[in-house]
Amino acid sequence: MIAITGAGGKTGRALVQALARRGVAARAVVRSLTGSDELRTLGAAEVAQADFADVARL
């Protein structure tokens, strides 16, 4: 599984989709879970909420 930080942005969403097309599992890491359904639709195997300012949560 590959973790994609910034998966909620334009480039991150495109990367999630490209990996899914190739059969690669991706964990979409986002600051907010708003839009997580869209990431799953694009092919994210998992969606995780994290903030780089919160080291304990990473």
pTM: predicted TM-score of the whole model, two decimal places? 0.86
Nearest to 50 by CA among 24, 12, 22: 12
Residue-level pLDDT at 49: 93
2-49: which CATH number, 3.40.1190.20, 3.40.50.720, 3.10.580.10, 3.40.50.300? 3.40.50.720
Q: Tell me the average confidence (pLDDT) per consecutive run of 10 residues in the chain, 58 residues long.
A: 95 98 97 93 96 78
Sheet containing 26-30: give its strands across.
2-5, 26-30, 46-49
- The whole-number pLDDT of residue 57 equals 65
pLDDT for residue 55: 79
Residue 34 CA: distances (Å) to CA of 1, 23, 30, 40, 51: 22, 25, 9, 12, 14
Domain assignments of the chain as residue spans, ordered by start: 2-49
